[in-house]
Amino acid sequence: MRKLFGTDGVRGEANKYPMNAETALALGQAVVYTLKKGHAHPKVVIGKDTRISGDMLESSLEAGITSMGGDSYPLGILPTPGIAFVAQSMRANAGIVISASHNPYQDNGIKIFAGSGFKLSDEQEEAIEDLMLSNTLHELVPQVKEMGRIFSMEDVNGRYIVFLKNTFPRDLSIEGIKIVLDTANGATYRVAPAVFRELGADVEVIHNRPNGININDHCGSQHTRNLSEKVVESAASMGLAFDGDGDRLIAVDEKGDEITGDQILLICANALKKQGKLNNDLLVTTVMSNLGLRVACKKYGLKHHASKVGDRYVLEDMLRLGSVIGGENSGHMIFLDQHTTGDGIVAALQLLAAMVRSGKPLSELAKMMDIYPQKLINLDVKSKPDIATVPEVMGVIERVEKALGEEGRVLVRYSGTQNMCRVMVEGPSDSVTETYCKEIADIVKSVLG
C-alpha cells in the first residue's frame, strides 16, 4: 500500500511529515539512485512555485541529489509544465517540481517528471517510494569524490517563453486583443504576461505580486470573481486564470461569465476537427466531466472517452487511444501535439486560436455546450475505506441514482491529495441537484467524517 505518493506526487502541510526537509532529502537521493543504473552523474532539474516553503524543500532536494552523486540544476520559479519542458529540452534525466498546485500556501508538494517530459508511471513512483521507506539510503551514498554538483542555468524563463509562443499558429494574430490575466500570485506571474504581450495582445494582469503566502488566495483558476469584474470593467475580450503552478486554465468571456475546462476542451477539440487535426476525432476527459459535454460531443461528431480522475490517467488513455486532446473540467488540459503535460498557457493559446479562427466572441463559442446543473460538496474525512464497502453510503447513492434515472448521475470519490471525499450530483434542475447532493453528503459526513 502506497504511503507517500498520491495521484500527483507527494503532498502535505509544509514543514511537517511527509512534506518536510527529511523527506525531500530522501526523495532526492532515491530518485538519483534509481537513475544511476544507466548514468554516472544523472542530471536533475528542479523548479518551484512561489510558496514560502519552496526554498527549504529545494535545498533539501539538492542535498539529496548531490549526496547520491547526481547533478542538480535549480530553475527557480517556473510553472510545472515549464519544468517538464526544460527537463526534456536539455536532455536531463528527471525534472522535479515543488508545488501543491491549487492548494493554499500552507501546503506543498513534490512531483517528478522523467527526462522525456512525461510524469513518472505509478510503478516508477512505487520503486522510489519503496527505496525511501527501506531505511537503506544512507548505506548507498557514494564516496565524496563521486558526489554531484549544483549548476546554474541561464535564461530559463526566456527558453520557455519561446517554446510557448511557438505553440500559437503562425497564420493567426492576436495583435491588439485585450486580455486580462490572473496569475494567482503563482508560478506564471512572470512568464504568462510576457508570452501574450510578445504575441501582440493588450494585456492587463492581476494577482501577480507573490509574497510567499498569497498564492491561490481568493484568486486564480478556482476564484474567478476578481477576474470577471476586471474583464467587464476593462471591456476585455477574455480573462484567463491560471492556478498556482500554471498547469490549469479557467477562462472568463467578455461578459464576465466563467468558461469551464469542459467548455474549453470542446471548443478546442471542435476547432481541431475542422482543421483535420483531431486524431481519431477523439476527446478524452474524466468521469467528473459535465453530462452536457457528452451531449455536445455527439452533436459535433466527436468521440468521447471518460478516464479516471487525474491528469495522469487522462494522459495514459490519450496515449493508449491515440488522442491529441484531453483534460479535466477543473482546467487541466493536455494538447499532446504541443506538450507532454498539462499546460495552462498552452491551453490559453489554443483557446485564443480557436476564437480567432471562428471570428466569434468567447461567449458565443461557450454556447456550444449546455451545462447540466451540478453540485459538488467536499467533505473532510478521517479515513478512506472503499466506498463500495460502506453500506450506508452505497444505500443513499443507489436511492438517488434510481430517482434521477437518465436525467442525472452521482459520483462519490476520494481526493487523491487530501483527506477529503467529493460528492458530485448532476440533475435536471438546481434544486433537485442540490437536494440530492446534500442528502448523500450528510450520510458521508455522519459515517466517515
The per-residue pLDDT for range 223-249, each reduced to its tens digit, is: 999 999 999 999 999 999 999 999 999
Give CA–CA dist 78/359, Å, rounded: 33
Cell output for 192: 504568462
Using the Cα atoms of residue 17, residue 22, residue 24 and residue 28 in order, give the sign of their dihedral.
negative
Cell output for 326: 484531453
- Considering the domain architecture, whether residues 101 and 149 belong to the same structural domain is answered as yes
| Whole-model pTM over 0.85 | yes
| 420-426 sheet: strands from edge to edge | 374-380, 420-426, 409-414
Look at 158 and 408; give whichever has higher pLDDT.
Answer: 158
**Residue 394 sits in a domain of what CATH number?**
3.30.310.50
Residue of 412, 440, 425, 441 lying closest to 309 (CA atoms)? 412
> 93, 127, 154: which is the final residue of a domain?
154
- Considering the domain architecture, whether residues 325 and 423 belong to the same structural domain is answered as no
| Helix, strand, coil content of the chain in percent (nearest 5) | 40, 20, 35
> 107, 127, 154: which is the final residue of a domain?
154
Tens-digit pLDDT profile for residues 20-29: 999 999 999 9
pLDDT, average across residues 250-259:
98
Predicted confidence (pLDDT) at residue 1 exceeds the cutoff of 70? no
CB 32 within 8 A of CB 128: no
- Considering the domain architecture, whether residues 280 and 242 belong to the same structural domain is answered as yes
**Residue 170 sits in a domain of what CATH number?**
3.40.120.10
- Considering the domain architecture, whether residues 219 and 357 belong to the same structural domain is answered as yes
Supply the DSSP string of 63-95, one letter for each residue: HHHHHTT-EEEEEEE--HHHHHHHHHHTT-SEE
Cell output for 427: 440533475
| 3-state DSSP assignment of residue 405 | helix
Predicted confidence (pLDDT) at residue 334 exceeds the cutoff of 60? yes
* 152 flagged as catalytic: no
Type and span of the H or E element at 393: helix 391-404
76: left (phi over 0), alpha (psi -120 to 50) or beta: left
- Considering the domain architecture, whether residues 147 and 9 belong to the same structural domain is answered as yes
Report the share of the chain in percent with pLDDT over 90: 90
Residue 289 has a pLDDT of: 92
- Considering the domain architecture, whether residues 135 and 242 belong to the same structural domain is answered as no
- Considering the domain architecture, whether residues 192 and 150 belong to the same structural domain is answered as no
For residue 2, name the pLDDT band (cuts at 50, 70, 90). Answer: low
Tens-digit pLDDT profile for residues 345-402: 999 999 999 999 999 999 999 999 999 898 999 999 999 999 999 999 999 999 999 9
Which position among 99, 101, 307, 330 bears the catalytic label? 101
Full domain range(s) for residue 435: 374-448
- Considering the domain architecture, whether residues 172 and 276 belong to the same structural domain is answered as yes
- Considering the domain architecture, whether residues 304 and 408 belong to the same structural domain is answered as no
> 95, 119, 154: which is the final residue of a domain?
154
Residue with cell 548507498: 140
- Considering the domain architecture, whether residues 217 and 109 belong to the same structural domain is answered as no
Q: What is the mean pLDDT of the chain?
A: 95
Residue 428 has a pLDDT of: 87
Using the Cα atoms of residue 100, residue 105, residue 107 and residue 110 in order, give the sign of their dihedral.
positive
- Considering the domain architecture, whether residues 347 and 434 belong to the same structural domain is answered as no
| 3-state DSSP assignment of residue 321 | helix
User: Is the omega angle on the peptide bond into residue 42 within 30 degrees of 0, that is, cis?
Assistant: no
Predicted confidence (pLDDT) at residue 59 exceeds the cutoff of 70? yes
For residue 407, name the pLDDT band (cuts at 50, 70, 90). Answer: confident
Predicted confidence (pLDDT) at residue 416 exceeds the cutoff of 80? no
- Considering the domain architecture, whether residues 147 and 209 belong to the same structural domain is answered as no
Residue 73 has a pLDDT of: 98
Tens-digit pLDDT profile for residues 263-299: 999 999 999 999 999 999 999 999 989 989 999 999 9
Residue of 429, 332, 417, 413 lying closest to 376 (CA atoms)? 413
Who's near 124: CB < 8 A, 6+ residues apart?
Answer: 34, 114
Predicted confidence (pLDDT) at residue 6 exceeds the cutoff of 90? no
pLDDT, average across residues 216-229:
97
Cell output for 243: 492556478
In a 10 Å sphere around its CB, with 0-12 CB exposed, 13-18 middle and 19+ buried, how is residue 46 labelled?
A: buried
Residue 61 has a pLDDT of: 98
Residue of 327, 303, 353 lying closest to 174 (CA atoms)? 353
Specify the number of domains making up the chain.
3
CB 307 within 8 A of CB 285: yes
Please give the distance of CA 257 from its chain centroid, rounded to a whole number: 22
Instruction: Read off the amino acid at residue 197.
Output: R
Predicted confidence (pLDDT) at residue 166 exceeds the cutoff of 50? yes
Tens-digit pLDDT profile for residues 76-122: 999 999 999 999 999 999 999 999 999 999 999 999 999 999 998 88
Cell output for 182: 490572473
CB 68 within 8 A of CB 141: yes
Who's near 304: CB < 8 A, 6+ residues apart?
Answer: 282, 283, 284, 285, 293, 294, 297
